[in-house]
Amino acid sequence: MTAYPIGTEVACDGPSTDRDCPDSAAVRAQITSATAREVRADGRRDGWRRRRRGNHLVDLCPRCDTDTKEKR
């Protein structure tokens, strides 16, 4: 049997450090996306954003990105 890489999933980090994404969202990767960078590019087309939280970057689905902006 031969195993082939099928890509990378990028999941939402939730609206805050103490709350998970209420939708358990993940980027829908295109068939040609094989790296996290390519999958994040797919997500940007659907409204996903990459934000800095503390000392690291987080991936936010459109719903959690809106929740984060409202709390600022």
Q: Where are the domains of the chain?
A: 13-72
Q: pLDDT tier at 28 (50, 70, 90 boundaries)?
A: confident
Calculate mean pLDDT across residues 11-36. Answer: 89
Which residues have C-beta within 8 Å of that of residue 28, sequence separation ≥ 6? 42, 43, 46
Q: Which three-class secondary structure state does DSSP give residue 51?
A: strand
Question: CA 61 to CA 15: how far, in whole Å?
Answer: 9
Is the pLDDT at 1 greater than 60? The verdict is: yes
Q: Quote the pTM value.
A: 0.78
Q: pLDDT tier at 34 (50, 70, 90 boundaries)?
A: confident
For the stretch 9-21, pLDDT in tens is 899 999 998 999 9
Q: What is the pLDDT of residue 5?
A: 67
